[in-house]
Amino acid sequence: MGAVYDSADIYLMSPNADNMPLSLLECFAAGLPVVSSNAGGIPNLIDDQVNGLLFAANDRQAMAACALRLLEEPGLASRLAASAQARCAKYSWPEIGPQWIGLYRHFSAASINSV
């Protein structure tokens, strides 16, 4: 996948529904600027104009405008990509691992106590 991301200039994503697409985190890690619809949980990953560009779902013209903006506005793509790469740290194992372990312990204790 790294080679695919390296060959691209922009990642366009236009779902009408999505929860937490891991492809966005892959693009963030690869340093690929992202343009996506604001469907579902995507705005929890992308802060518009901070680490990507968002547009309203089903708005093809807005998607095209965002893509053109990345291509035409000097420095925007690299600024967004750098911010997105920094955001990846939030999803690294040292950050999320303890949260997952805490959840497993919580639910494990809850199931033992309910027996």
Residue 2 pLDDT:
78
Residue 115 pLDDT:
58
Task: For residue range 32-57, list pLDDT tens digits in order.
Answer: 999 999 999 999 999 999 999 999 99
Quote the number of domains for the chain.
1
Residue 47, domain extent: 2-113
**Mean pLDDT across the stretch 50-74?**
97
Q: CATH number of the domain at 78, please.
A: 3.40.50.2000
Residue 51 pLDDT:
97
Angle between helices 60-72 and 76-87 (to 10 degrees): 100
Task: For residue range 73-109, list pLDDT tens digits in order.
Answer: 999 999 999 999 999 988 889 999 999 999 999 988 8
Residue 112 pLDDT:
74
Q: Which residue has the higher pLDDT, 114 or 6?
A: 6
pTM of the model: 0.84
